[in-house]
Copies of this chain bind each other. A is one copy, B any other.
Amino acid sequence: MASTRAWILKSRPTGMPDMGNFELREREQEALGEGRVRVENRWLSVDPYMRGRMNDVKSYVPPFEVGKPLEGGAVGKVIESRSPHFKEGDTVFHMYGWRDQAVGPAEKFNKVPPLGVSDEQWLGNLGLTGATAYFGLLRVAAAKEGDTVFVSAAAGAVGSAVVQIAKAKGMTVIGSAGGEEKCAWVREIGADAAIDYKAGPVVKGLMEAAPKGIDVYFDNVGGEHLDAAFATARNNARFAICGMIDAYNGAPQSFRYMARVIAARIQLKGFIYTDYLPEMGDFYRDMGGWVASGQVKSRETIHEGLEATPQAFLDLFTGGNTGKMLVRL
C-alpha cells in the first residue's frame, strides 16, 4: 500500500512557534471503511487562528493534540468513496489539512457549489476567510453605507476581503499594511487610503487619513492598530474584533487611548464566523455574486509542496503574505 504524509504537532510552542514544533510524519495509507471518503488534497490553508489551537487551553475549537496531525482548511479531489454522497473526482472542501491525503466520514466533507470559480477560492473569499470578513463587517460591526471603516492587515486574506466588501456597500475605507507594495495593492482593490504601519505611528497615519474619525474598526491585529482606532473613534463607533495577531504569541498589548471607550461610547465585540452559520445563505448570495462579477478580487501567496506548510504558517506572523496564504500540493 502507498504511504501518506501529515504534519504532526511535535511540541506546543511558547511564544513564537518555530520549525522545531512540527514534524512531517509518514504512515501507511489506511483502508477505507464504510461511509468514509478518501481525498487527495490540492490546496491547504494556513491561518493565524491556528496558533491559538497550539496552546493547551479550552477555546472555541479544541486544542491540537501533541503527536497528532494538525488540522485546517483544505480543498481536494475525491479519489475513493464508500459513501453514496460522493464519487471519484468530486471537488470538496474540509478541515483535514496539513496532510496530502484526507480520510474521514462523509459528513466531514463538503462538495463545492457550482459557481464556476477556481478551487482555491473555497479557502479564501468564498471560505472561512470571506465569511469572517462578511459577518464581522456587516453583522458584528453593523457597518453601513456612508460609514468610515478602518481595517488592519488590509493586504491579508480577511482584511482584503473587508476592504472590498466595504467598497461594494458604499463605505469609505482606510486599510493598513506593512510596506509600500502592500499598500499599493490595498489601494488597487479599492481602499480610499492605505497606511503603511512600518513607515510611522499608525495613530498619526489614521488621523491624517480620517480627519473626522472612524465609525467602524475591523481588527485583525490588536496592539498599536487597536490603540489608533481608540484614538480616532467617533461617537458610537463599533469595533469587530476578529484577530489579534500581535497577541497570539504571548506578548502583552499596551494602550494609551483605550479610555476613549467611555467618552465615545465605543462598542467592541469579538466573534467567530461560525456564530453566523445560519446566515451563510446571505454570504454565498452576496459574495458569490461579487466574486463572479470580479467586484471582489483575490490574490494568493502560494507555497509549493506539503513540506512548505509550517513555513507558510510561520510567515503569517512576519507579514510574509499578500492576500491569502496557501500551500499548493
A20 at interface, CB cutoff 8 A: no
Say yes or no: B256 contacts A252, CB within 8 Å: yes
Indicate if the CB atoms of A269 and B267 lie closer than 8 Å: yes
A246-262, CB < 8 A from B: 247-248, 252-256, 258-262
Residues of chain B with a CB closer than 8 A to A252's CB: 254-256
Q: What distance in Å separates the Cβ of A328 from its nearest Cβ neighbour in chain B?
A: 29
The answer to whether A59 has its CB under 8 Å from any CB of chain B is: yes
Q: Does A272 contact B (CB under 8 A)?
A: yes
- Cross-chain contact B264 with A270 (CB below 8 angstroms): yes
**A86-94, A95-103, A163-171, A237-245 - the one binding chain B:** A237-245
Q: Is A34 in contact with chain B by the CB < 8 A criterion?
A: no
**Bound-complex Cα distance A269 to B263 (A):** 11
Nearest CB on B from A156, distance (A): 16
A222 at the interface (CB under 8 A from B): yes
Chain B residues with CB below 8 A from A242, complex form: 262
Cβ-closest chain B residue relative to A263:
B59
Given that A254-B253, A255-B253 are contacting pairs, would A241 and B261 also be in contact in the complex, using a CB cutoff of 8 Å? yes
A261 to B266, CA, bound (A): 15
State the number of copies, please: 2
Best-buried of A255, A259, A264 by chain B (most CB within 10 Å) = A259
Q: How far is the CA of A280 from the CA of B86 in the complex (A)?
A: 62
Nearest to A226 among chain B residues (CB) is B258
- In the complex, whether A198 has a CB less than 8 A from a CB of chain B is no
Distance (whole angstroms) from the CB of A255 to the closest CB of chain B:
5
Assess whether B266 is in contact with A272, with CB atoms less than 8 Å apart: no
Complex CA–CA separation, A253 to B262 (angstroms): 15
The answer on a CB contact under 8 Å between A263 and B270 is yes
Contact of A247 among B52, B59, B253, B259 (CB under 8 A): B259
Q: In whole angstroms, how far apart are the Cα atoms of A247 and B265 in the complex?
A: 16
Q: In this complex, which of A254, A260, A266, A269 has the most chain B Cβ atoms within 10 angstroms of its Cβ?
A: A269
Whether A271 sits at the interface, judged by CB under 8 Å, is yes
Q: Are A265 and B271 in contact (CB under 8 A)?
A: yes
Complex A-B: 15 CB contacts under 8 Å: A59-B263, A243-B262, A244-B259, A244-B261, A244-B262, A252-B254, A252-B256, A253-B258, A254-B255, A255-B255, A260-B270, A265-B269, A265-B272, A267-B268, A268-B268
Chain A interface (Cβ within 8 Å of chain B)?
Answer: 52, 59-60, 222, 241-244, 247-248, 252-256, 258-272, 275
